[in-house]
Amino acid sequence: MGVQLTPRRVWAVGAVLVAVAATGACGGQSSGGTSPPACTWPAAFDGTDATTGACRAARYYLSCLGADGSGEHCPSDDPTRCSESAPTPGVTYSDCENQCGPDEYALVCGAVGSGSGPQPPDTCRTLAPNPGGSVAACCPCEPATE
């Protein structure tokens, strides 16, 4: 049997494809285990929208090195690893670097094969294009509310 593609896996594959094209595009800020200041984004990007390809935010956009020399790129809320399963089963990934700045969050819009879909806001820095159909960007954190 093959791998069953769920919406979550399709989103993860799209994020990986976006990231493969985006290596080094956002300045390669090292996450180094140090937490950047708190960052908030619009609630619309929390990933609760069931629409395939809706924009989803995460605290980091990571570029990680695989033990086999491959790379993994993903949005994640953990600065040390991707939240989804590894794209290559059995390969471990380390040395993750946040591609967004400490005052930015990661945003991925669209899905593999989705064609045109929602785009990141104009205030975001779009990462390298992805032929898979999704778009990744680094967006400025929203001001803290009291």
The DSSP code sequence of 43-79 is GGGSS---STT--EEESEEEEEEETTS-EEEEEESST
Q: Where does the pLDDT of residue 3 fall: very low under 50, low under 70, confident under 90, or very high at 90 and above?
A: very low
In the chain, where are the structural domains located? 7-140
Residue 85 CA to residue 122 CA, distance in Å, equals: 31
State residue 92's pLDDT score.
Answer: 87
Q: Is 19 helix (H, G, I), strand (E, B) or coil?
A: helix
- The pTM (predicted TM-score) of the whole model is 0.67
How far is residue 44 CA from its own chain's centroid?
A: 16
Summarised one tens digit per residue, pLDDT across range 116-129 is 678 899 999 998 76
Q: Mean pLDDT for the chain?
A: 73
pLDDT of 105 strictly over 60: yes
Among the residue ranges 18-27, 58-67, 68-77, the one predicted with the least confidence is 18-27
What is residue 95's DSSP assignment? E
Amino acid, single-letter form, for residue 83: S
User: What number is the average pLDDT over the span 7-21?
Assistant: 38
Find residue 106's DSSP bridge partners: 58, 138
